[in-house]
Amino acid sequence: MIDIKLIRENPDLVRENIRKKFQDAKLPLVDQVLELDVKNRQIKTEVQTLLAKRNAAGKQIGGLMKQGKKEEAEALKAEMAADGATIEKLSAEEKTVEEELTKIMMVIPNIIDASVPIGKSDEENVEVQRFGEPVVPDFEIPYHTEIMESFNGIDLDSARRVAGNGFYYLMGGIAQLHSAILTYARDFMIDRGFTYCIPPFMIRSNVVSGVMSFAEMESMMYKIEGEDLFLIGTSEHSMIGKFIDQIIPEDQLPITLTSYSPCFRKEKGAHGLEERGVYRIHQFEKQEMIVICKPEDSMEWFDKLWQNTVDLFRSMDIPVRTLECCSGDLADLKVKSVDVEAWSPRQKKYFEVGSCSTLGDAQARRLKIRVNGKESKYFAHTLNNTVVAPPRMLIAFLENHLQADGSVTIPEVLRPYCHFDKLEPKK
């Protein structure tokens, strides 16, 4: 949610930002906000005037009663009662207007950074840089679930019987590899100065609406029936929510946290061949990183965060690239976003394994996360980035480390966590 002052003072900037995101249907919302804002301030002024009048009349009534002017005092009391009814009516109207104003403000997209490329969809995202040399071996690489099945490492049929499509059982060495990657990623981030955290895996609706747009919530979140609780789609949600309604001393910034959690997503819609198996699923585990910092430091932290993911993947000998998300591919709260994509030797292309975003003060404004600065209080900036999400990481890992004999080699950095240096096929 952007600052109402920005819409008042520079509505054309807000309209232009909406156009850059190719959301022209939202352009009338700017005028609606301006109209409601004027109405809201008029109501507040009228209420304040009546309250001041009532306070003055209260003192006047006391004076009249002392002077024995009872009739005048009673007439003034009647006038005050009428004003009281007007105040009550105006206060109810003010609440309605503010609720409508907030509802519309929550839909207007955040102002994107000037460096964001303009484009309608992810097809217009821009490659920034490659790290490592993509290799295509001289033998055929099977689909990732076939690789896992060769180690008796996955059971999709049983998962379908138990939970339906979009779930899996990981078994044996593949399950060990999955856990090893998460544990290694945790230690990797701790070594970079981040504090490890295991957050709640459910959050209330006020936190959900504070960290994401309504469209994202509808397409992603699972609601717990009969309770004001949602299953998290990423630990970023509960990690940022940790600071709801808090005033953080400036000398405590930046706050850098890395968190483990299971994640739950509806993943609505049909997906292509390359998203079968464990690519797009309803339940997975992830290591995440979040930063809460001063506004002037957010872009520096943005670059540090995506670099962490690149460095993690390169430490496991997986080629990656960074991709700048264009304006039309940015969620409404995001200021700027970079995807980290891993090389797939089987597909001979890159695919997304993580996403790094800065949201400016949008989440902090919604959740009332403020900083107690030297001169005044201000809203913090929030950032998040995927360290690693093993289902997709497993695809990249297995494809890039598969050998001609069907075995998978384990990079040296992972061996202390796996306790083996190679996976040998069972069949």
The model's pLDDT over 145-182, given as tens digits with 9 standing for 90+, comes to 999 999 999 999 999 999 988 899 999 999 999 999 99
DSSP state for residue 143 in the 8-state scheme: P
pLDDT at 64: 65
E-strand ranges in 12-164 read: 126-131, 154-155
Q: What is the pLDDT of residue 369?
A: 98
CB atoms within 10 A of CB 81: 11
Q: Which residue has the tokens 């003060």?
A: 361
- The residues of the chain scoring below 50 in pLDDT are 270, 272-273
Q: For residue 202, give the H/E element and its range.
A: strand 202-203
Residue 86 confidence (pLDDT): 84
Q: Which two tokens stand for residue 377?
A: 């209080």
C-alpha closest to that of 337 among 328, 350, 324: 324
- In this prediction, residue 273 carries a pLDDT of 42
Instruction: Judge whether 182 and 171 are in contact, CB under 8 Å.
Output: no
Whole-structure pTM value: 0.89
Q: What pLDDT is attached to residue 270?
A: 44
Which distant-in-sequence residues (6+ apart) come within 8 Å of 32 by Cβ? 104
Neighbours of 141 (CB within 10 A): 18
Q: Which residues pair with 402 in a beta bridge?
A: 408
* Domain annotation for the chain: domains and CATH numbers: 4-105 (1.10.287.40), 122-423 (3.30.930.10)
Q: Which tokens is 163 given?
A: 């939970």
- With CA atoms as reference, report the closest residue to 411 among 279, 313, 288: 313
- 3: helix, coil or strand? coil
Tokens matching residue 267: 């993943």
pLDDT at 157: 93
